[in-house]
Structure 1
Amino acid sequence: MCIEDILATAAQAWPMIWLLDLLRYLLGVAAVAAVLDLASQRWLAPRSVRIRTVAQDQRWKEFLRSLRTVVVFSAVGTTVFLGYRLGLNRFYEAPGEYGWTWLVASFPVLLVLHDAWFYWTHRLLHHRKVFTGVHRTHHLSVAPTVWTAYAFSVPEAFVQALFLPVVLLVVPLHSSVVFAWLLWMVLRNVMGHSGMELLPRRWLAGWWGRWMTTTLHHEMHHAYGHTNYGLYFTWWDRWCGTEHPAYASRLAQLVGDLGDGKPSPRPAATAR
């Protein structure tokens, strides 16, 4: 394929990839927002993990930043498509090409790899020489909302997006697995920024609460910074000593609140 054909293929594919990325973001936000809007205040009250106050014009600014992120994500997604067409990555379409066992196992493998990528790049983005120019945009939302999930600077959006083309250089992934991961990623991201713990109490009190990140986990990261860097799992924070020292006790308090349906008194949210 000559350079003209490659550019023509990219120009043809990018609009659809951009639209799919935009819809994925908007549908993820809409799904979580619908739960928050339709649920009763009695159900939501003990689930609030909000530490600081959402600024008046914050959501609109987050949405505009997210549109920029969608452009970056779709541009990188177009390179993944071109890599597949040129045989440069290990993206595949036939379900049985690598066996059905790998087809099923590749999804949790992808989650573990993505979590490791996110944790270590996230810590790098908090380095004092990198934070201001790259990651500060995301942390302008000291009280994140569902719209914060994609509110990145351009450099950070590239860091987030590069995971997939990098992993596809070495790990064969079926299109259905990549699609499921993209949906999982945006839904978990939106939930983690929602300020509400939407998962059942028994999950939070059990295995999920011990090993998976919660909305509280990421809320504390935005409120305090420099702790709780994990994306899906808490193990990197535990192994590396970066879990907030009060996280376990606050999670236990939250579980207790959900048990009797009465939120314990908490300090008032701090204004920006």
Structure 2
Amino acid sequence: MKTVDFSEPGTFLLTAAFMFLGIFGRYVAIALLFSVLVQGVYKDKFSPRQVQKRPRRDRQTQVEIGWSFFTSILFALAGAAMVLVWQKGFTKVYLEVNEYPLWWLPVSLIIVLFLHETYYYWLHRWMHRPSIYKYVHKVHHDSITTSAWTSFSFHPLESILQAIFIPGLLFILPLHLYTIGLVLLIMTTTSVINHLNTELYPQDFHTHWFGHWWIGATHHSLHHSQFRTNFGLYFTFWDKWMKTESPQYARLFEEKTENSISSIEKIEMKIH
């Protein structure tokens, strides 16, 4: 059987097209899922207090999806390029699970998330420099009141800066294909959740040993409203270490989840 040559222009573009369908489709599917969840379940039953009181406009969602479309194209091109260099033998990607010890699968996942968090935190702070912000990061912050659709809404320059990190790791860190897929799924899902502007996590989650270090919608919504706090991607540790976490976070989280619990109790009282 003839081996597919990803360096052929037609094959490369077809690979990029399939990757675009996967990336943009994943974004739409997850964003739609959580949008329905928030509107159909949380809005009616829990009604968590929102960080921002400004109503979202239909036009805002359309703009976000438009930017996300271009973001997905750039991510797909980066992915297709990595398939090409993988075929040429330049990456550390491996396909056989037993090629490395099984313990390396979870350990490599943790390492990737830590390194990605570190890269993004400092990149994010750099993008907020006044001389950089308006050219790179402003598009994302045009969505002051965020939603699931905001999660991939980036200027192309920011999309490129985000797209290069994971592929860059593949040159130096052995990663199984499953690990790469899981990282990408975590990245998309957490981005959608963190932009919901509606807190999904339970009361006191922010004081739990895991929740203390994990970012949710309340945490990231404060970044969109305050601009100079809460720069993290998955975790809060860099914000805590660098003292850039909003002092309003704990209080606001408690207010939102307390409001949710109160709403549930009222519903139960009406039922009984």
* TM-score w.r.t. length of structure 1: 0.89
Work out the CA distance in 2 between the residues paired with 1:122 and 1:223. 15
Q: State the 1:37 CA deviation.
A: 3.0
Work out the CA distance in 1 between the residues paired with 2:108 and 2:23. 22
User: Structure 1 residues 50-59 or 215-224, which shifts more?
Assistant: 50-59
Quote the residue 1:267 is aligned against: none
> Could you tell me whether the CA contact under 8 Å between 1:50 and 1:196 is conserved in 2?
no
Quote the residue 1:132 is aligned against: 134
Letter in 1 for 2:52: R
Q: State the 1:96 CA deviation.
A: 1.2
Change (3 A) 1:4 1:44: closer
Task: For structure 2, list consecutive stretches of 5 or more residues without a partner in the other structure.
Answer: 266-272
Instruction: Encode CA deviations 1:198-244: one digit per residue, 9 max, x unaligned.
Output: 12225344223311112011101111101100011111011111111
Change (3 A) 1:207 1:4: closer
* Pairing of 1:138-153 with structure 2 (within 5 A): 138-153=140-155
> Could you tell me whether the CA contact under 8 Å between 1:52 and 1:223 is conserved in 2?
no
Work out the CA distance in 1 between the residues paired with 2:25 and 2:237. 32
1:197 aligned onto 2:199: yes
Quote the residue 2:213 is aligned against: 211
> Could you tell me whether the CA contact under 8 Å between 1:205 and 1:255 is conserved in 2?
no
Work out the CA distance in 2 between the residues paired with 1:145 and 1:72. 22
> Could you tell me whether the CA contact under 8 Å between 1:92 and 1:173 is conserved in 2?
yes
Quote the residue 1:247 is aligned against: 249
1:24 aligned onto 2:26: yes
Quote the residue 1:60 is aligned against: 62
> Could you tell me whether the CA contact under 8 Å between 1:94 and 1:174 is conserved in 2?
yes
Quote the residue 1:119 is aligned against: 121
Instruction: Encode CA deviations 1:153-201: one digit per residue, 9 max, x unaligned.
Output: 1100001111111111111111111111111111110111111111222
> Could you tell me whether the CA contact under 8 Å between 2:49 and 2:255 is conserved in 1?
no
Quote the residue 1:266 is aligned against: none
Work out the CA distance in 1 between the residues paired with 2:173 and 2:89. 14
SS at match of 1:57: helix
Work out the CA distance in 2 between the residues paired with 1:129 and 1:236. 23
Quote the residue 1:270 is aligned against: none
Change (3 A) 1:4 1:208: closer
Work out the CA distance in 1 between the residues paired with 2:208 and 2:44. 23
> Could you tell me whether the CA contact under 8 Å between 2:146 and 2:196 is conserved in 1?
yes
SS at match of 2:224: helix
> Could you tell me whether the CA contact under 8 Å between 2:126 and 2:132 is conserved in 1?
yes
Instruction: Encode CA deviations 1:242-264: one digit per residue, 9 max, x unaligned.
Output: 1112222222333433443489x
SS at match of 1:144: coil
Q: State the 1:9 CA deviation.
A: 3.8
Quote the residue 1:172 is aligned against: 174
> Could you tell me whether the CA contact under 8 Å between 2:199 and 2:257 is conserved in 1?
no
> Structure with the greater relative contact order (CA < 8 A, sep ≥ 6): 1 or 2?
1
SS at match of 1:38: helix
Aligned pairs, number: 262
* Pairing of 1:177-192 with structure 2 (within 5 A): 177-192=179-194
* TM-score w.r.t. length of structure 2: 0.89
Pairwise CA RMSD of aligned residues?
2.2
Change (3 A) 1:59 1:101: same
